[in-house]
Structure 1
Amino acid sequence: MGPEQIMAVRHGESEANLAHRRAGTTPLVYERGDDEVTLTELGRTQAAALGRLLAALPAGEAPELVWCSPYLRALDTWRLARERWGAAPPVTVDGRLRDQEAGAFAHLNVAAIQERHPGEMARREREGAYAFRPPGGESLADVVVRLRGFLADLSLDRRADGRRVLIVAHDSVVLGLRHVIAAAPDAELAAVLEFAPVLNASVSLWRAGGGRLDLVRFNDVTHLTP
């Protein structure tokens, strides 16, 4: 049967997000590993706002189960949201919800990639951002493959049958979920990039109806407005 509802949240602003934004078009090498990056002060504020949103939901709409990325920024977002919410639904950490792996591009912003790997950037332009796989990394198509497996397992998980599920993860995961839940052909994967960027602490929601999950809202950040 599968979940009655899926709510997908991108983590709050991370230290790497802030460093990349400040660097702008200046080449940047960010030394911390992708799984080690935690939240900025703004990111913690965003996570608390998510918790307030969850606390304000009617009982019949609040998540009952949580699946989370193993990366620290996602785990911290859930921890802070849970503390503000005041509820503690069961949590499962699943490696398939990790961010898209950058491989040789890890630690580098776009300007640094262009400086160090101009040939690879040219290949990215030829192949398209959804299909391009950096050396040792993943394409968005690769992320979709693991998310398809995750959702297939979730639909068979008796814990999730008819329940409301919260997923706390990353921008690439939320985009990939949109593609997989819509059952769109992989030939149309590039179209999902029209909905990028997925914003920090944004909420996307699907509800079951007619034997499928229908999109209710996507990339919603109204709960972050004071």
Structure 2
Amino acid sequence: MAVKELWLARHGESIGNVAATQAEIDGLDTIPLDVRDADVPLSDTGREQALALGEWLDGHREGLDVYWVSPYLRARETLALALGDGGGRVLVDERLRDRELGILDLLTRRGAARLHPEEFARRQHLGKFYHRPPGGESWADVALRLRSFLRDVMAGPDERAMIVAHDAVVMLVLYILLPMDEPGLLDFAAGHTVLNASVTHLVRGDDGWTLSAFSDVAHLQREGADVTAHPGSPDVEPR
């Protein structure tokens, strides 16, 4: 057997999303956050979103064989709250972690341009897909580890799987499976946002994968939870 249906969920709003949004609004250089990226928890709104995701999950739980999740706290909290007491087979995989930003970590767009102008210019030259900030990863780097992850998942016994991770992970899984080239991915990303606690659905047929739903947040709107999207730069990914 092989995976025939794949659901991709982004974690709920984190305190890092809130801090990053406010830092952009206030025109700050740095995002005031004193925990490492792996330990950033959900905000109160993010917890509400995760519970609303659980309501969606109640209608799909019987069709899901396994849940894969990023080791980062905000993703694990989202899945734990969504699953509740219902349980399920949960597997943590470090290849699903968020993109590492290196020296640009915790910088706003303004901060990256002012504090690292040479790196900012290099990013403008190379483009988002191939730019690797010192100590960090490019989108291409993340795609490499996701190819490894997907090979393992597709070779397993499960037919229907869910991944709970980060916006860059969702975008790059689409890039790999649909598949897209660099211009196609960047064009898609420019016009589409992976919202907090949203669900994206991929289905595999005889001719390959198709996108059934992207960044669906109907479950959040029904529950009255706020849907948040980081409005910041295309150069520095949100937390």
Q: What TM-score does the superposition give when structure 2 sets the normalisation length?
A: 0.86
RMSD: 1.7
What is the letter of the counterpart of residue 73 of structure 1? R
Q: CA deviation at 1:57?
A: 3.2
User: Residue 126 of structure 1: CA displacement?
Assistant: 1.2
Unpaired runs of at least 5, structure 2 = 225-239
8 A contact 1:206–1:216 mirrored in 2: yes
Larger mean Cα displacement after TM superposition, 115-124 or 35-44:
115-124
Pairs aligned (count): 219
Partner of 1:34: 37
CA apart distance, 1:119: 1.2
How do residues 149-160 of structure 1 correspond to structure 2 at under 5 angstroms? Answer: 149-158=148-157, 160=158
Given that 1:178 and 1:192 are in contact with CA atoms closer than 8 Å, whether structure 2 keeps it comes out as no
- Alpha-carbon distance in structure 1 between the residues aligned to 2:40 and 2:149: 24
- Structure 1 CA distance, aligned partners of 2:61 and 2:12? 23
Could you list the per-position Cα deviations for residues 4-55 of structure 1 after superposition, in whole angstroms to 9, with x for gaps in the alignment?
Answer: 2100000000111000111123222433211010000000001001000011
Secondary structure at the counterpart of residue 217 of structure 1: strand
Distance apart, 1:189 and its partner CA: 4.1
Deviation (angstroms), 1:196: 4.1
Matched residue type, 2:143: V
Deviation digits for residues 68-113 of structure 1, max 9, x if unmatched? 0000000000011011xx4211111011100001011122222222
Q: TM-score, normalised by structure 1?
A: 0.90
| Identity among equivalent pairs (%) | 39
Matching residue within 215, 218, 221 for 2:217: 221
Q: Distance in 2 between matches of 1:216 and 1:99?
A: 24
Unaligned ranges ≥5, structure 1: none
Which residue in the other structure is 2:235 paired with? none
1:79 paired to 2:80: yes
Give distance in 2, aligned partners of 1:144 and 1:31: 28
* Cα separation, partners in 2 of 1:52 and 1:28, compared to 1, 3 Å: same
